[in-house]
């Protein structure tokens, strides 16, 4: 970096901050469930000196899985933020920042698809990510989901192939999976030395050295940097040449050296890898075993060496609310304050915590900020540094920090907090719609009062959780991303809010649509003495492309319906769309055009035209062949070969569509698409069919039309025939 560039960067930093922007890393640990994210995070915290004893997921004593539900189930439910510090050691390996302390803000994200919102909002505020893959299973369904989320928010990443100590682990296969299934330009910068029970260490390809761990030291703190063993030299040379060629294809500096047949030193190569990683053109891959404490040091070094600091990523983009123009938000401590609230959490001791990523400026304890959504001032009475379920107060926060604020009240996920007079709105994260719901009923009047408070708090915390009252039955309905999601919600209501409630059977969040074009008119005419009511609208409807949602276009010409009544017609149409026509489910993928109508100079009003819109759309929808859509899940089952037939047969009975069957050593991986309605109780079924040896994962994929053969049965169960007629 030039002297001028270095000086410019130094001016971005407040003289009061302890760690400069260049020495800060905001990273996430993300992966498929059971790939080893939490174990990897726990080792990082141990080696960075934040904790002095490594916890284990199976023992329920890890730092980041601090909720009682997480400890009991051995899974991550909520993303945990934690800050640690790392100083690279001078141990004979080539490192860029030897003896330079760095601050690393880590978010450990869930792997279960039911809690994908936690990954979504974390990716929105991160500068880099460590994607963890299982050395046996390679790329799994949720691996693909978190990878897409990271790509959506332009998050550079490195990959860690974990569990190389497990039987059947195959590092090369995992790398191949990344390239084929994720489209990643992935190349190893380190290789596991050995595999399964013979895993001894890792080979650093850039330094051309081996790291051998002391087999007598279970902590992994003692290791020796040596020459690459003779039996591994050829493998390391081949991998090094592949890495060099991959970098040269993307980096002009290295390409020029290759073309001119000049030597490429490790410093030049390392700098090129960093450039390509930060620009998302390369994914460096490392291997090891977090559980066996091998290779994690290299991962932390790679985070510092290759993942970007807040000043290495493109500036955040926001909207200036004064002129509605896009503006760049340069990471700078001296600029006007601007931060994004990405998570809410209710702490039993301090109350409502708002997790925030600071994009620009400085915020001191006690200062007021403006919420650009509500246009109201909020006062940050306390600023907290987060260490999972522990916190420490701080006097000020700076650009690039991830912190929690206490004292702000009317703030939700996705709100922008900024300096008054410099009002900017940042793009919030987006979240999927719930796919499953159930009725919930408090047992006593006291439970009812507590339930209301609990549901309000939980819906504030979780953007994928919904609660509403069914207008027909009067039942209170909760909706979420899956059975486990709703189970956790119920458990939290009981433990945190002392609510005892009965829950109904989970219900599928079906959708309605149309399958052909149609036209219809709606007339609302009332004359009962005095001023009457008159509204008349003509509409065309047609199916839209799946996933495009609903569009309503005004095609009225010549003033056949006055402009002031057009919104009322559209409002009536929207009311029917939200409530459905076939079975009271929201409608999707429908295109509506308002094309004609008429009015009465005296009797026409907004109510009459709203009713006309309702009548017109209901009639058009019935003519357009209504159809019911159901959520379809992408299901992956990993099973020993001997149970493949039984599991295949069971998936077929559940209306499953087999997409692929992959064979790996000793196991078969079945990829299929199965309607969510058929997946209730599948966890028990798959355990029974495989004597507990198979595992599965699933994630929402798409909506598909319910087969005609079962539509009527389904509709009868949803609502009686009399109600549909």
More confident site: 558 or 543: 543
Q: ∠ at Cα 363 (361, 366), nearest 5°?
A: 160
Q: Specify the DSSP class assigned to residue 421.
A: T
Beta bridge partners of 519: 540
Are the C-beta atoms of 416 and 426 separated by less than 8 Å? yes
What is each CA distance from 195 to 166, 168, 200, 249, in whole angstroms?
A: 8, 9, 8, 31
Structure tokens at 439: 């009725």
Classify burial at 343, counting beta carbons within 10 Å of its beta carbon; exposed 0-12, middle 13-18, buried 19 or more.
buried
Report phi then psi at 314, rounded to 5.
Answer: -60, 145
Cα separations (Å) of 222 from 161, 290, 295?
22, 15, 12
Distance spanning both ends of the chain, measured CA to CA: 73
420-425 mean pLDDT: 86
Task: Report the distance separating Cα 703 and Cα 610, nearest Å.
Answer: 30
For residue 520, the number of C-alpha atoms closer than 13 Å in the C-beta half-sphere is 21
Portion of the chain with pLDDT greater than 70, in percent: 90
Residue 203: which residues within 8 A CB-CB, separation 6 or more? 190, 191, 192, 193, 209, 210, 211, 228, 232, 236
Distance of alpha carbon 311 from alpha carbon 304, whole angstroms: 14
Higher pLDDT, 201 or 37: 201
Nearest-angstrom CA–CA distance, 3 and 8: 9
Residue 4 has pLDDT above 60, yes or no: no
Q: What are the CA-CA distances from residue 123 to residues 23, 26, 151, 284, 343 (Å)?
A: 20, 10, 9, 19, 12
Predicted pLDDT of residue 353: 80
Q: Give residue 35's pLDDT.
A: 81
Q: Which residue has the tokens 């691996």?
A: 143
The residues with which 465 forms a beta bridge, in sequence order, are none
pLDDT at 721 over 60: no
Question: Which of 371, 400, 396 minimizes the C-alpha distance to 382?
Answer: 396
Whether 35 contacts 143, CB under 8 Å: yes
- For the stretch 686-704, pLDDT in tens is 878 988 778 777 777 888 9
How many residues belong to the chain?
725
Mean pLDDT of 558-564: 90
> For residue 79, what pLDDT band results from cuts at 50, 70 and 90?
low
Residue that wins the pLDDT comparison between 252 and 75 = 252
pLDDT value for 268 = 94
Structure tokens at 26: 């905001």
Rank 140-149, 444-453, 460-469, 568-577 by mean pLDDT and report only the highest. Answer: 568-577
Which residue would you say has higher pLDDT here, 457 or 424?
Answer: 424
**What are residue 587's DSSP bridge partners?**
512
* Residue 77 confidence class, pLDDT cut points 50, 70, 90: very low
DSSP strands (E only) in 641-720: 657-664, 667-675, 695-705
* Spatial separation of the C-alpha atoms in residues 535 and 561, rounded to whole Å: 9
CA 92 – CA 208 distance, rounded (Å)? 11
- For residue 628, what are the β-bridge partners? 512
Q: How far is CA 285 from the centre of its chain?
A: 22
E strands present in 14-142: 24-31, 80-87, 101-108, 128-134
Q: Which helix (H) or strand (E) holds 298?
A: helix 296-306
CA distance 482 to 506: 9
The predicted model gives 229-245 an average pLDDT of 94
Angle at which helices 141-152 and 171-182 cross, to 10°:
50
Tokens 């703190």 found at: 221
The pLDDT tens digits for 427-441 are 887 777 777 778 888
Dist CA 63 CA 104 (whole Å): 16
* Predicted confidence (pLDDT) at residue 724 exceeds the cutoff of 50: no
Residue 488 scores a pLDDT above 70? yes
pLDDT, tens only, 45-59: 888 887 766 655 544
* pLDDT of 685 over the 60 cut: yes
User: Is the pLDDT score of 474 beyond 50?
Assistant: yes
pLDDT of residue 200: 92
140-162 average pLDDT score: 88
pLDDT for 167 beyond 70: yes
Structure tokens given for 22: 């260049």
C-alpha to C-alpha distances, 368 to 321, 380, 390, 420, nearest whole angstrom = 19, 6, 25, 9
Q: Which of 44-48, 247-251, 350-354 has the lowest mean pLDDT?
A: 350-354
d(CA 228, CA 235): 10
Q: Give the residue among 607, 524, 520, 597 at the shortest CA–CA distance from 558.
A: 597
Q: Which two tokens stand for residue 707?
A: 């087969």
Provide CB contacts within 8 A for 569, sequence distance 6+. Answer: 535, 537, 561, 594, 597, 609, 610, 612, 613, 616
pLDDT mean across residues, the chain = 85
What is the helix, strand, coil percentage profile of the chain, to 5? 30, 30, 35
Mean pLDDT of 207-220: 89
Q: Does the pLDDT of residue 223 top 70, yes or no?
A: yes
Residues 6+ apart with CB under 8 A from 334: 11, 12, 14, 361, 362
State whether the Cα torsion 376-381-387-388 is positive or negative: negative
Residue 543 has pLDDT above 80, yes or no: yes
Burial (Cβ within 10 Å: 0-12, 13-18, ≥19) of residue 710: middle
The answer to whether residue 108 scores a pLDDT higher than 80 is no
């Amino acid at each position: 970096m030039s002297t001028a560039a270095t000086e410019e960067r130094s001016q971005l930093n407040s003289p009061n901050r302890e760690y400069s922007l260049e020495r800060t890393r905001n990273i996430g640990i993300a992966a498929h469930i059971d790939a080893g994210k939490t174990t990897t995070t726990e080792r990082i915290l141990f080696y960075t000196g934040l904790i002095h004893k490594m916890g284990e997921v199976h023992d329920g004593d890890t730092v980041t899985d601090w909720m009682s539900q997480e400890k009991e189930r051995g899974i991550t439910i909520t993303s945990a933020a934690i800050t640690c510090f790392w100083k690279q050691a001078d141990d004979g390996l080539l490192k860029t920042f030897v003896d330079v302390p760095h601050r690393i803000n880590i978010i450990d994200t869930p792997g279960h698809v039911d809690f994908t919102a936690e990954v979504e909002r974390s990716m929105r505020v991160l500068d880099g990510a460590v994607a963890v893959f299982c050395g046996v299973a390679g790329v799994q369904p949720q691996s693909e989901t978190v990878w897409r989320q990271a790509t959506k928010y332009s998050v550079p990443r490195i990959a860690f192939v974990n569990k190389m100590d497990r039987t059947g682990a195959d590092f090369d296969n995992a790398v191949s999976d990344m390239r084929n299934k994720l489209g990643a330009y992935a190349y190893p910068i380190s290789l596991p030395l050995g595999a399964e029970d013979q895993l001894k260490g890792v080979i650093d390809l850039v330094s051309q050295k081996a790291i051998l761990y002391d087999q007598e030291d279970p902590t992994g703190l003692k290791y020796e940097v040596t020459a690459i063993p003779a039996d591994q030299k050829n493998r390391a040379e081949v991998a090094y040449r592949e890495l060099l060629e991959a970098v040269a294809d993307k980096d002009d500096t290295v390409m020029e050296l290759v073309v001119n047949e000049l030597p490429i030193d490790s410093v030049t190569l390392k700098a090129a890898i960093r450039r390509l990683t930060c620009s998302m053109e390369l994914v460096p891959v490392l291997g090891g075993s977090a559980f066996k404490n091998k290779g994690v040091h290299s991962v932390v070094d790679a985070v510092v060496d290759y993942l970007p600091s807040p000043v290495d990523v493109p500036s955040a983009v926001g909207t200036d609310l004064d002129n509605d123009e896009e503006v760049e938000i340069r990471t700078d401590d001296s600029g006007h304050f601007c931060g994004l609230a990405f998570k809410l959490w209710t702490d039993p001791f301090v109350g409502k915590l708002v997790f925030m990523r600071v994009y620009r400026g400085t915020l001191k304890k006690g200062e007021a900020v403006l919420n650009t959504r509500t246009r109201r001032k909020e006062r940050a009475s306390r600023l907290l540094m987060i260490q999972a379920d522990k916190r420490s107060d701080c006097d000020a926060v700076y650009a690039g920090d991830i912190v929690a604020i206490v004292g702000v009240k009317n703030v939700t996920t996705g709100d922008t907090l900024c300096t008054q007079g410099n009002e900017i709105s940042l793009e919030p994260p987006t979240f999927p719609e719930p796919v499953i719901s159930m009725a919930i009923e408090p047992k006593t009047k006291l439970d009812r009062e507590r339930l209301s408070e609990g549901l309000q708090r939980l819906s504030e915390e979780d953007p994928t959780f919904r609660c509403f009252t069914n207008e027909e039955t009067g039942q209170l309905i909760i909706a979420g991303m899956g059975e486990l999601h709703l189970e956790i919600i119920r458990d939290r209501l009981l433990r945190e809010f002392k609510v005892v409630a009965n829950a109904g059977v989970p219900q599928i969040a079906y959708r309605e649509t149309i399958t052909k074009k149609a036209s219809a008119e709606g007339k609302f005419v009332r004359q009962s003495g005095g001023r009457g009511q008159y509204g008349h609208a003509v509409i065309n409807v047609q199916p839209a492309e799946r996933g495009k949602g609903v569009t309503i276009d005004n095609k009225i010409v010549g003033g056949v319906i006055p402009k002031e009544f057009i919104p009322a017609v559209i409002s009536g149409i929207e009311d029917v769309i939200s409530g459905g026509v076939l079975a009271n489910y929201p409608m999707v993928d429908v295109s509506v055009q308002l094309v004609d109508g008429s009015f009465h100079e005296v009797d026409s009003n907004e109510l009459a035209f709203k009713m006309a819109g309702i009548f017109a759309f209901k009639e058009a929808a019935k003519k357009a062949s209504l159809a019911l859509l159901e959520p379809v899940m992408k299901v992956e089952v990993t099973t020993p070969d001997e149970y493949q037939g039984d599991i295949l047969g069971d998936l077929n009975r559940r209306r499953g569509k087999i997409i692929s069957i992959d064979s790996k050593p000793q196991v078969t991986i079945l990829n299929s698409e199965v309607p969510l309605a058929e997946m209730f109780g599948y966890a028990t079924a798959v355990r029974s069919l495989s004597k507990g040896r198979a595992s599965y994962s699933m994630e929402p994929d798409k909506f598909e039309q319910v087969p005609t053969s079962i539509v009527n049965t389904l509709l009868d169960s949803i609502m009686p025939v009399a109600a549909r007629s």
